[in-house]
Structure 1
């Protein structure tokens, strides 16, 4: 299960809206921020809110841990990108076999792409769920010989 900490933005009758919380870092740099984190912040897009199914009574500002099943991200990517691409190539090859020429291949590719896009849109995507409340207590690393 892939997990991410999120903050509740607002509640609705069919779930809650959450926003992912960025981790504060590993702490090795003494809170100054490492170079890779600073570079990542340059390309950071604005935060997005997501609807998540939830059975807990939560209020805006609460922190929760949300999760999505292992493999669901890969399956969704294959459905959304791989299926239309495969159908585009298949359509182009089939049209080329039936009628040699670039025009037929282009038409077959476009037709395969439209069919692949419509089939990919019809599937149901895996939705994240709230696993538990985030209690906000960070874990403590204990070095060998220390208690």
Structure 2
């Protein structure tokens, strides 16, 4: 199970909206700040919010731990990237076999890509779930 600390942003009828909380310092970079985090901040200006399933009674500002099964991440990646790519190749090959030439292959590839994109978008995605509340006392013990 992959876990991430998050903060509750708002509650909804079908779950809660959360924002990932970055750890303050993991020690790997010597306290100078994570280089990969800085690169990510260049491309993403505002924090992203995610809808997660929740059985707990939570309010905005609560810190929680959300999780998702490892296999679900791989299946989602294959659905989002693999399905459109596979249908693009299949469309190009099918069009090429019906009518040889680059033009029909490109049209078949585009049609396969659109079909793959629609199929990937229409599938139900697995949402992360709230595993537990974050223990605040752990943060106080580490600092002092």
Q: What TM-score do you get using the length of structure 2 for normalisation?
A: 0.85
Q: Aligned pairs, how many?
A: 139
Which of the pair is proportionally richer in helix?
2
Cα offset for 1:14? 2.0
2:64 is matched with: 64
Counterpart CA distance in 2 for 1:29 and 1:114 is: 43
Superposed counterparts of 1:1-80, under 5 Å: 1-27=1-27, 31=31, 33-34=32-33, 36=35, 39-40=38-39, 42-43=41-42, 45=44, 46-80=46-80
Cα offset for 1:81? 1.0
Q: Which runs of 4+ in 1 moved over 6 A?
A: none
Counterpart CA distance in 1 for 2:89 and 2:62 is: 48
Counterpart CA distance in 1 for 2:14 and 2:24 is: 31
Identify unmatched segments of 5+ residues in structure 1. Answer: 141-147
Q: SS at the partner of 1:100?
A: coil
Q: What TM-score do you get using the length of structure 1 for normalisation?
A: 0.83
Counterpart CA distance in 1 for 2:72 and 2:14 is: 22
Once superposed, what is the RMSD of the aligned Cα atoms?
Answer: 2.2
Counterpart CA distance in 1 for 2:120 and 2:34 is: 39
